[in-house]
Amino acid sequence: MRRVAVIQLAAAWLLLATLATASGAEPLQRRPPKLSSGLAALAQQADSSQSALAAARDAGHDVIAGRVAVEVETATVGGDVLAAVRHAGGRVVGAYGRRATVLIPPAQLEAVAALRSVRAVRERSRPFFDSLRGEGVAATGAPRWHAAGWTGRAVKVGVIDGGFAGYRARQASGDLPDDVEIADFCHLTPFEAIEHGTAVAEIVHEMAPAARLYLICVDDGVALGEAIAYARANGIAIVNHSAAWFNTWRGDGTGPRETPEGVAASAHSAGMLWVNSAGNFARAHWAGRFKQTGFGWHEFAPRDTGNTFTLEPREEACVFLKWDDWPVTTQDFDLFVYRDRGRAAIAASIEEQSGQEEPREQTCFSFEGDGPEQFSVVVQLKTGFGSPRLDVFVPGRRLEYQTPAGSMGEPASSPVTLAVGAVCWQTGELEPYSSQGPTIDGRRKPEIAAPDSVSSATYGAFEACGAHVGFPGTSASAPHVAGAAALVKQARPAWTATQIAAFLQRRTADIGVTGRDNQSGAGRLVLGSPLARAAPRSALRVPRLVAAPAIKGVAAPGRKIRARAGQWLGTRPLGYAYVWLRCTIDGLRCAKSGTTGPSYRVATTDADFTLRLAVTARNAGGSRTAVSRPTDPVPGAYSAEPGDELVMYEFVATPTPRPGALLEARTYVVRVDGTFVLGATVGCSAVLRGRRLPVAARSFSGGSARCAWRLPANSAGALVSGSLTVIATGRSIRRAFSVRVSR
């Protein structure tokens, strides 16, 4: 889509003027801090409540009883802010962490945004369900598992979705079990608003017919958090989420607790396996470095600053832009949507990024017309420098310029989720719309692929791959994997979510590029031979330790040390889980380092600590844990070759010495390889009120260096600065300290 930048600039100003003056409102640039530009436009129409509410509906907001639905983020959890919302005539319909879904009159938006404890008032985040609209069971090989008795019995599976229309009819037809559990966290839409969740649940039930199904309805980010809290409370082992969220965070899994990434991390920490559709956005995504033309417009292609897509009348389109400058940015981009080949602006997002705001813009719109029309996405840099990566998503549309790589939304992009791509059940080939990796931080995604385009009691019978009949899309692929996970969980109840995910990735058929790739991960799900039935529990021998775990290697910064599981007896097969511990010098007080797995890269932050290894051996009968002996203390200074530097550890100076008493500094000195230094020279220096204190004692014995000074009687409250220096083997090492004399 080609156009002249001057026309764009004029159209942009025309759009802003139109939005600002349609009802006599002030310009959007004067919006209150912390209030999004779209909501500011509604607040400025507060003198005409009907006009504001009509504008809210046109912008895609939910409006109920004269109040608009928004998301309020607070500095703390709950409390005064939510009480103030109620006082302003608002109603809190859901809360999770520091975010709440609120219904509030447009006239009160500015007042709520002005509250000191409010961080932001913005449009509600919402999911996009990955369907374009019972052959997959056979395609995955699940019937062999059913015949072996693995049907998912006693395994709880939660289907977190946006609606379950017709689920009662599916129960009556036998496509869903009679005893499904219902949990409704949809704040503003009915539990049976859409049928997407019903179709997803059908596939889970076909794959795992005896699993206990929980149908959990969500319609915004706050509801997603509430849903996972419910899942944790009810012991749900597997979660299926056939949806994507956009612009909620960077896409690297580090999102705060209230974001979809944070919610998925909470589920993972509770031991749940989160199965997520990869998304259908390979053709609805563009990514690349910002390339500036005149007036700050971005070029999607040489001499082309618009990325077009087609929309039908009265259909809603949402456009999302984010740039890689998280978590807050001073680079200020604006987002515009143009109609009629760039001559008329129909929507915009002009949030201000001044160093406190996140790098994202988004807008939704629809139009009235007699037929399909083309619209163009346009990005403009308002202030700032550099060429960050831009990501543009227009869910459900096909862009003129497309970037399939990196086209997954959140939380499918998170490292704690099992993302599932789509392959047609009939051909086994990757669907062209299936979202791809890598993630923005370079990880390979998705992890696995599974069938779509299957027949569905809800969506109809299969006709062709990718057709709008049957159930195409990664929304159908994910529940095939979630159901398969339920079969594995029944067969191996002691397996963790990580073990189940790894097992499923081993039971695949490679497609496309040889090996793991960013299109189908490990390949297409093929369950293969069912797991053997475990021996009766009475005949099982729980793991028993014979030889303790050990650590192999030198514990020095930059070095990699490896785990030895030790020797265990017990019914085979045995599985091992490794947790690395950071401990005090004596090895008695330990905390988890955050690293699991058979190896550990020693960091500089491990200096002056010892490291230990906790090994959990597990079989079908249970599990046992044993801990290794501690390593030598990790040196605090090091070089490429061990033995050529000195290291101090357990350095201590008298914390609050008394006037007239001794001030002491002590430390142990070793070489970087952990061996003790036998002889050394000790240097002692201390200054109080600008005068050097005489040394009362200095010594070096058994690897321990000591300095002591006698404090004057009139030194109460004074600050003493000093140092202890050790010279040995031609090397020198020094440690400074500063203490306050007690009063």
Q: 122, 138, 161 — which closes off a domain?
A: 122
Looking at residue 408, its amino acid is M
More confident position, 620 or 437: 437
Q: Report the percentage of the chain scoring pLDDT > 70.
A: 88
In angstroms, the CA 453 to CA 463 distance is 8
Whole-number pLDDT of residue 465: 77
Tokens standing for 270? 């509770």
What are the backbone angles phi and psi of residue 544, rounded to the nearest 5°?
-135, 135
Closest CA to 88 of 59, 55, 121, 126: 121
pLDDT recorded at residue 13: 41
Mean pLDDT is lowest, of 18-32, 88-102, 710-724, for 18-32
| Across 683-688, average pLDDT | 89
410, two tokens: 């959140």
- Nearest to 36, CA basis, from 336, 350, 384, 346: 350
Could you tell me if 277 and 173 lie in one domain?
yes
Whether residue 516 sits in one domain with residue 413:
yes
Q: Could you tell me the CA-to-CA distances from 481 to 23, 474, 632 in Å, in that order?
A: 52, 11, 45
Ordered DSSP codes for 331-356: -EEEEEEEETTTTEEEEEE----SSS
pLDDT, position 138:
87
Helix (H, G, I), strand (E, B) or coil at 376: strand
Looking at per-residue pLDDT, the higher value among 731 and 195 belongs to 195
Statement to judge: residues 439 and 505 lie in one domain: yes
Place of tokens 């949990």: 183
pLDDT of 74 higher than 90: no
Tokens of 85: 């919302």
pLDDT of the residue at 157: 98
151 and 270 inside one domain: yes
As a whole number of angstroms, the distance between CA 619 and CA 568 comes to: 11
CATH number at residue 673: 2.60.40.10
Q: How far is the C-alpha of 436 from the C-alpha of 405, rounded, in Å? A: 5
Give dist(CA 461, CA 458) in Å, integer. 9
Q: Tell me, yes or no, whether 63 and 205 share the same domain.
A: no
pLDDT at 52: 62
CA distances from 510 to 432, 482, 519, 629 (A): 17, 20, 11, 43
Greatest alpha-carbon pair distance for the chain in Å reads 96
Q: In the sheet that 731-740 helps form, which strands lie side by side, from edge to edge? A: 691-692, 681-688, 719-728, 731-740
Range of the domain at 234: 128-281+408-525
pLDDT given for residue 423 in this prediction = 94
Decide if pLDDT at 723 tops 70.
Answer: yes
Contact 244, 127 (CB under 8 A): yes
Query: Residue 174: exposed, middle, or buried by beta-carbon count in 10 A (0-12, 13-18, 19+)?
Result: exposed
Query: Is residue 21, in this structure, part of any structural domain at all?
Result: no
Is residue 218 pLDDT above 80, yes or no?
A: yes
Averaging pLDDT over each range in 202-211, 634-643, 686-695, which range is the top one? 202-211
The one-letter code for the residue type at 626 is A
What pLDDT was estimated at residue 555? 81
The answer to whether residue 389 scores a pLDDT higher than 90 is: yes
Non-local (6+) Cβ contacts of 664 within 8 A are 653, 654, 706, 707, 708
- Domain end (from 393, 423, 445): 393
Residues 117 and 157 in one domain: no
Regarding whether 306 and 276 lie in a shared domain, the answer is no
Domain assignment present for 243: yes
Which of 584-598, 616-630, 637-651 bottoms out in mean pLDDT, i.e. has the lowest? Answer: 637-651
pLDDT score of 4: 33
Q: Say yes or no: 96 and 155 in one domain.
A: no
Structural element, H or E, at residue 580: strand 575-583
Instruction: Phi first, then psi: give them for residue 13, nearest 5 degrees.
Output: -65, -35
CA distance 585 to 592: 15
**For residue 334, is pLDDT > 70?**
yes
Looking at the structure, do residues 516 and 367 belong to the same domain, yes or no? no
Q: What is d(CA 409, CA 280) in angstroms, rounded to the nearest whole number? A: 10
**Helix 196-207 to helix 474-491 angle, to the nearest 10 degrees?**
40
In whole numbers, what is the pLDDT of the chain averaged over residues? 86
How would you class 394 by CB atoms within 10 Å of its CB: exposed for 0-12, middle for 13-18, buried for 19 or more? Answer: buried
- Token pair 């380092």 is found at 593
Any idea which residue has 């999607």 for tokens? Answer: 300
Distance separating alpha carbons of residues 54 and 33, to the nearest angstrom: 24
CA distance 102 to 93: 6
Q: Is residue 226 part of a domain?
A: yes
CATH number at residue 581: 2.60.40
- Segment 397-421, tens digit of pLDDT: 999 999 999 999 999 999 999 999 9
In a domain, 637, yes or no: no
Match 């015949």 to its residue by tokens.
Answer: 147
Measured CA to CA, the distance from residue 71 to residue 126 in angstroms comes to 11
Which tops the pLDDT comparison, 647 or 53?
647
pLDDT 10s digits, 375-384: 999 999 999 9
How large a percentage of the chain has pLDDT more than 90?
56
3-state secondary structure of 382: strand
Per-residue pLDDT, averaged over 257-266, amounts to: 96
**pLDDT at residue number 343:** 67
Of 650, 647, 638, 663, the C-alpha closest to 715 is 663
Give yes or no for residue 542 having a pLDDT over 60.
yes
**The two structure tokens encoding residue 159:** 């289907």
Q: Does 592 map to a domain?
A: yes
**R_g of the chain, CA atoms, integer Å:** 31
Q: What pLDDT, on a 0 to 100 scale, did the predictor assign at position 22?
A: 33
Greater pLDDT, 657 or 136 = 657
CATH classification at residue 363: 2.60.120.380
- The 10s digit of each residue's pLDDT in 6-53 is 334 334 444 444 333 333 333 334 445 688 877 777 777 654 456 666
Retrieve residue 668's tokens.
């142990």
State pLDDT tens for residues 453-488.
Answer: 888 778 877 777 766 667 888 999 999 999 999 999
In degrees rounded to 5, what are phi and psi of residue 681? -100, 135
The answer to whether residue 633 is domain-embedded is no
pLDDT at 733: 83
Query: pLDDT tens for residues 610-619?
Result: 899 999 999 8
Q: What is the pLDDT of residues 79-91, one digit of tens each?
A: 567 777 887 788 8
Q: What is the token pair recorded at 414?
A: 């998170």
Do 139 and 202 share a structural domain?
A: yes
As a whole number, mean pLDDT of residues 438-451 equals 96
Question: Would you say residue 2 lies in a domain?
Answer: no
Helix (H) or strand (E) holding 202: helix 196-207
Residue 371: phi, psi to the nearest 5? -170, 180
The number of folded domains in the chain is: 5
Q: Do 202 and 303 share a structural domain?
A: no
The answer as to whether 560 is a domain residue is yes
> Which range is least confidently modeled, 26-30, 256-260, 523-527, 572-576?
26-30
Instruction: Give the pair of three-digit tokens for residue 656.
Output: 């609050």
pLDDT at 487: 97
136 or 520, higher pLDDT:
520
- List of residues 6+ apart from 438 with CB closer than 8 A: 405, 406, 444, 445, 518
Q: What are the phi and psi torsion angles at 229 (to 5°)?
A: -65, -40
> If you search the block for the tokens 């000093």, which residue do you land on?
722
| Domain shared by 251 and 140, yes or no | yes
Rounded Cα–Cα distance for residues 153 and 156 (Å):
9
pLDDT at 50 (0 to 100): 64
Q: Which residue(s) pair with 525 in the sheet?
A: 508
Q: Which strand ranges, in their side-by-side order, compose the sheet holding 508-509?
A: 181-184, 212-217, 156-161, 238-241, 273-277, 417-424, 448-452, 524-525, 508-509
Listing DSSP states for 274-290 in one string gives: EEEE--S-TTSEEEEE-
Q: Among 477, 498, 525, identify where a domain stops.
A: 525
Q: What whole-number distance in Å separates Cα of residue 86 and Cα of residue 92? A: 7
102: amino acid identity, one letter = V
How far apart, in whole angstroms, are the C-alpha atoms of residue 649 and residue 630?
Answer: 15
